[in-house]
């Protein structure tokens, strides 16, 4: 099923172009306002969880604190390190912000509206491969972090960028396979078509149809992709000073945090689109205009709920160690996501006959678990090349040279 925007059904004229431009501007401004509110929301919620007050000076309930912080960053001095690559150093913050905006462009925010003779969707764009665009942009977003660390000319930002690259490689496969399960049951790559496939009641939401596990896998993987706690190893203050953004100041420093919170909103919207029916919900047709404003309200409530979950993660979970991050991604998340993908593909293809894949997956899981246990229990003395892989624990003791009988000492 290929979804197309009804706005272009009658061709393109100046009225259609005006509607497109208005949709782009409204989406961009709404995303900026939502990001400012998200920053305030996170600070307030975490302060409540930690029995603090939080922002309460600028504006009612501290709502203007984000505006005050942003204004302060604009007027701060913009520094450029001596050893930095000037062009890449200045480009990196924008490479983090732009993908977040582009991802939000393919997210269905509401239903269909008719103005005059034009009918259009409450969505900036609905390409036939919209979900592939989401995956591509989520992978490109990390380039801003990687290039920022590399171009700074300092070892601490460089270590943060190396962590970012390893983190994305570790979790990109699990993220993609989780999305493939959604595509299999929705029979489309279009985000609008994925939402339409979940429109017959909450029991048809993909989170239920797919058995909850793909949603859990997707949440873990996308949290790691966003480098949000507990996966924020790219900006660990304890060992990397500030991380990849250590050498940044002024508005470029602010753009990285704008991108982080903007990505949190856009990925919450993507989770709602893929697994929770997007703007779908019960609509009483007796209420005038309900088909227009109720889907928007449903979408906003669902997205806000996941934004709260991300804030909850930051307040409640400690940062993982780097080895724990790698083990979770490679040894657990990827095998489990692949196993569930095989089960879903088998059931979609052969219906109940696809359950024959269950014993295959169980046997593979047992063998993989056993292999991991053997690898973890193997000591350094049992390694293949102990002289190279062994760890030096103490200096070797020198044996005294014995003097031969009758010889000189």
Q: Is a pLDDT exceeding 60 seen at residue 407?
A: no
User: What pLDDT digit, counting tens, does each position of 42-73 carry?
Assistant: 999 999 888 888 888 888 888 888 888 888 88
Is pLDDT of 396 > 60?
no
Residue corresponding to tokens 């046997």: 363
Q: What is the pLDDT of residues 298-325, one digit of tens each?
A: 999 999 999 999 999 988 888 888 888 8
Residue 400 has a pLDDT of 58
Total residue count of the chain as it appears in this document: 409
Confidence (pLDDT) at 397: 54
Whole-number pLDDT of residue 1: 41
| pLDDT at residue 282 is higher than 90 | no
The chain-wide mean pLDDT, for the chain, equals 84
Instruction: Say whether pLDDT at 155 is over 50.
Output: yes
Residue 333 scores a pLDDT above 50? yes
Helix/strand/coil (H, E, C) string of 174-242? HHHHHHHHHHHHHCCCCHHHHHHCCCCCHHHCHHHHCCCHHHHHHHHHHHHHCCCCCCCHHHCHHHHCC
Q: For the chain, how far is it from start to end, CA to CA, in angstroms?
A: 93
Residue 277 above 50 pLDDT?
A: yes
**Torsion sign across C-alpha atoms 221, 223, 229, 234:** positive
| pLDDT for 367 | 85
What is the model's pLDDT at position 308? 94
Which H/E stretch holds residue 119? strand 118-121
Helices (H) and strands (E) in the chain, counts: 15, 2
pLDDT bucket at 391, cuts 50 / 70 / 90: low
Residue 69: burial class (beta carbons within 10 Å; 0-12, 13-18, 19+): middle
pLDDT number for residue 402: 59
Q: Does the pLDDT of residue 173 top 80, yes or no?
A: yes
Task: List, for residues 124-141, the tens digit of each pLDDT value.
Answer: 988 888 899 998 888 887
Q: What is the pTM of this model?
A: 0.85
Residue 141 is predicted with a pLDDT of 79
**DSSP structure class, residue 114:** E
In this predicted structure, the answer to whether residue 386 has a pLDDT above a threshold of 80 is no
CA 277 to chain centre: 19
Partners of residue 119 on adjacent β-strands: 114
Q: What is the mean pLDDT of residues 393-402?
A: 54
By three-state DSSP, how is residue 121 classified? Answer: strand
Least confident of 26-35, 111-120, 170-179: 111-120
High-pLDDT (> 90) share of the chain, %: 29
């Amino acid at each position: 099923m290929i979804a197309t925007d009804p706005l272009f059904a009658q061709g393109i004229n100046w009225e259609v172009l005006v509607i497109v431009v208005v949709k782009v501007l409204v989406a961009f401004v709404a995303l900026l306002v939502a990001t400012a509110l998200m920053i305030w929301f996170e600070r307030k919620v975490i302060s409540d969880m930690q029995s603090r007050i939080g922002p309460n000076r600028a504006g009612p309930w501290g709502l203007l604190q984000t505006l005050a912080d942003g204004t302060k960053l604009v007027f701060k001095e913009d520094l450029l390190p001596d050893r930095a690559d000037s062009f890449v150093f200045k480009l990196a913050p924008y490479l983090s912000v732009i993908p977040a905006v582009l991802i939000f462009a393919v997210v269905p925010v509401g239903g269909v509206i008719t103005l005059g003779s034009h009918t259009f969707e409450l969505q900036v764009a609905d390409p036939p491969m919209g979900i592939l665009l989401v995956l591509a942009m989520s992978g490109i977003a990390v380039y801003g972090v990687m290039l920022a660390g590399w171009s700074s000319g300092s070892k601490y930002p460089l270590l943060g960028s190396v962590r970012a690259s390893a983190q994305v490689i570790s979790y990109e496969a699990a993220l993609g396979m989780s999305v493939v399960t959604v595509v299999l049951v929705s029979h489309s790559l279009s985000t609008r078509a994925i939402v339409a496939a979940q429109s017959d009641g909450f029991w048809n939401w993909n989170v239920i149809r797919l058995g909850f596990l793909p949603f859990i896998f997707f949440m873990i993987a996308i949290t790691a992709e966003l480098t949000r706690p507990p996966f924020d190893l790219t900006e660990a203050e304890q060992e990397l000073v500030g991380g990849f953004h250590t050498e940044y100041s002024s508005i470029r420093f602010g753009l990285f945090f704008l991108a982080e919170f903007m990505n949190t909103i856009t990925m919450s919207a993507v989770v709602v689109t893929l697994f929770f029916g997007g703007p779908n919900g019960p609509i009483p047709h007796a209420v005038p205009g309900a088909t227009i404003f109720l889907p928007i309200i449903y979408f906003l409530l669902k997205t806000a709920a996941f934004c709260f979950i991300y804030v909850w993660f930051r307040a409640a979970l400690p940062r993982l160690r780097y080895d724990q991050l790698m083990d979770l991604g490679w040894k657990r998340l990827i095998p489990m996501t692949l196993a569930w993908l095989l089960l879903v593909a088998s059931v979609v293809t052969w219906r109940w006959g696809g359950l024959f894949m269950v014993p295959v997956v169980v046997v593979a899981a047992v063998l993989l678990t056993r292999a991991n246990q053997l690898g973890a229990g193997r000591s350094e003395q049992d390694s293949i090349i102990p002289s190279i892989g062994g760890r030096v624990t103490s200096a070797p003791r020198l044996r005294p040279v014995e003097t031969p009988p009758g010889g000189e000492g």
